[in-house]
Structure 1
């Protein structure tokens, strides 16, 4: 069970800034930091790039670094002897005391109105390695595809519920795990001897993977820690032909249904329906998402600029947001923050909560809501033509490129229809 702390307990650190008595704020040394979260699985490392904001000595521009990803955090603020690095979209933040080239404090994420999850956090400027500063060659090269079984009871790959895709250079490894509901985003790490270490921090998700490599059996056996208290064992075998179930066959219309019958409110209270004139005779993409979901954000980061380039061609997008709270007063501002962050022009409505069973009831034309995100393609006649469960984000490399190509081909085909 996740340990939840009252808001009073986790605001003490930021309060030290106000009570520190310092007449001028501390200064954060700019550059790259090696950051670490103290989790039950051990240190979870990630990178931070911190630079002063031009013209404002109290704020800093911060990026979380995972592999090739530079994920922008919200503007960081220095108050007294502390820095606060927020990620408002995910209702999380890093708060730390500044001491020379070191930051020490906590990461915290809001779960309910009065409760937060927290983990100790520290970062040191000038360090850029992930798990080890040792650059000597590893004893194993894990480049390639791995058929993985998370939660394996036998210690063997009985069910392929994920596919690991890794690229190793020296002892440095990047890659991700593909699953039927999405991917684990940008993973970054090292191979140390016969052991694999991978991690990711994106403001919401905290992933730590550890595994031992058996050269004789070409297998990896280890553990996966997520968030504050999540844990699963996992095992994987090297398999260049490893594949997941077809993502276009997991979610489908129930017999007798031809389209989605939906009517939900935007944050301003306006009801939006696919029967509205805006969508008539248009190729329409329905995006099932949540502001709390990093995979959904990856998809939104693709769809928002795509829509700007193509909306004059007779296409529309409607976002169905399933949030942690069904109350508009709670979830409406989160939807608006998401729209602002990704500069979204298309409507996003509050469709319900992110419980998959409840989300499925909100969309009775579907067999089930299997994953966030799920993307539904509707033709000019208003009929559902294609449903894609999950999303392979840019951290998956060629799988993302393949999705984008297939997405554009399908849209072109539907636009060409009379």
Structure 2
């Protein structure tokens, strides 16, 4: 479904009772809900934890639950008989009518000023399972391990490895993610039912549903992935403890003849940030190529912001170059500011252009290409680029995240010691 109305207008249309003043606001039962988005691939489940805010009977704290992740949404509000749960960072929201133990409505995400994507949404109070396993066959296999994966396979075989699945299974409960050369699929949670895999994730912006059947003879998973409102891709995965991806340090690099990264872009407040600014002189500088719309960038910023607070006195600087859906500061500036507030960022974040990778590459002509958001660039005290890391392995990847943090700190320590 697509609505050609601004998001705020849609919200007002959904809440007629709130405008009439004819009845007191409904109340939401506090606790855990099993939520589903109704996609073309079927129900995409995720957890919601809804708790009242002290001192305000109409405001609630809400968390989206995917495996071990409790992702905070923005404060939810109740008006009339409906609840609105926003995720302003991603310009999305859940809006639903309250009907006892059931919330029923839709998820909305603004794509452009005139286009809003929607999917039907329901949430049932007190239900904690992910995919329904009661009355279904027990898991016939344990899928724990590394899986060489080919998304978009046209042969039904893993002839090209463009992702690595990392799964952990206990009983019929399955968790994990897929690592790709440009980032990961964050926290996936689900079940193994009989010889079939089911995984899902909802983070306010991205929504993924994975289904696959397992062939024990070939140790192969074959299935499909549904993403967003209409995306679909087939995938095949082969159990392979040696599965690996291309070196993330070799995908983006300086063009011959370039030694530094030249940039000069405006912050939302109007100040221009440039690599020649005095704040970067004789300091190790980390450049974060990012976007407020990007969940992997969100994970990286969640690491970077507190790291900078702990380490800035050591002679290190951070700067974010944000590539947004619009080059217009009037539209994208507030998104950058919301991101800075959410993650308590106290280093500069400038609007560098649009999130089209070709346009981002033109904005940074010293690089061969921008192939992923995020991309992290390490510059030494002399202003020379020393290392470029494409993508980010977030906390949903487990040991891969720990390895990234270790390598990040080791590199910064080395550059600071020079």
Q: Shorter-chain TM-score: which interval? A: over 0.9
Does the 8 A contact of 1:13 with 1:105 survive in 2? no
Partner of 1:39: 39
Partner of 2:279: 278
Point out 4+ residue stretches in structure 1 off by more than 3 angstroms. 8-13, 19-22
Partner of 1:161: 162
Deviation per residue, 1:67-113 (Å, 9 max, x gap)? 00000000000000000000000000000000001100000001111
Q: How does 1:5-404 map to 2 (within 5 A)?
A: 5-7=3-5, 10-11=10-11, 14-19=14-19, 21-134=21-134, 137-404=138-405
Deviation per residue, 1:331-367 (Å, 9 max, x gap)? 0000000000000000000000000000000000000
> What is the Cα deviation at residue 177 of structure 1?
0.1
Deviation per residue, 1:252-311 (Å, 9 max, x gap)? 000000001110000011111010000000000000000000000000000000000000
Does the 8 A contact of 2:221 with 2:236 survive in 1? yes
Does the 8 A contact of 1:13 with 1:95 survive in 2? no
Does the 8 A contact of 2:156 with 2:222 survive in 1? yes
| Matched position secondary structure for 1:272 | strand
CA distance in 2, matches of 1:52, 1:69: 20
> What is the Cα deviation at residue 38 of structure 1?
0.3
Does the 8 A contact of 2:282 with 2:381 survive in 1? yes
Deviation per residue, 1:91-147 (Å, 9 max, x gap)? 000000000011000000011112100000000010010011428741111000000
Does the 8 A contact of 2:213 with 2:221 survive in 1? yes
CA distance in 2, matches of 1:118, 1:16: 19
| Matched position secondary structure for 1:7 | coil
| Matched position secondary structure for 1:228 | coil
**TM norm structure 1:** 0.98
Deviates most, 314-323 or 130-139 = 130-139
Does the 8 A contact of 1:176 with 1:185 survive in 2? yes
Deviation per residue, 1:210-242 (Å, 9 max, x gap)? 000000000000000000000000000000100
Which residues of structure 2 form unaligned runs of 5+? none
Which residues of structure 1 form unaligned runs of 5+? none
CA distance in 2, matches of 1:20, 1:100: 21
> What is the Cα deviation at residue 4 of structure 1?
2.9
> What is the Cα deviation at residue 17 of structure 1?
3.2
**TM norm structure 2:** 0.98
Deviation per residue, 1:372-408 (Å, 9 max, x gap)? 0000000000000000000000000000000000000
> What is the Cα deviation at residue 11 of structure 1?
3.8
| Matched position secondary structure for 1:240 | coil
Deviation per residue, 1:42-70 (Å, 9 max, x gap)? 00000000000011111000000000000
CA distance in 1, matches of 2:123, 2:193: 22
CA distance in 2, matches of 1:356, 1:332: 20
Structural RMSD (CA): 1.2
CA distance in 2, matches of 1:356, 1:299: 19
Matched positions, count: 415
Partner of 1:411: 412
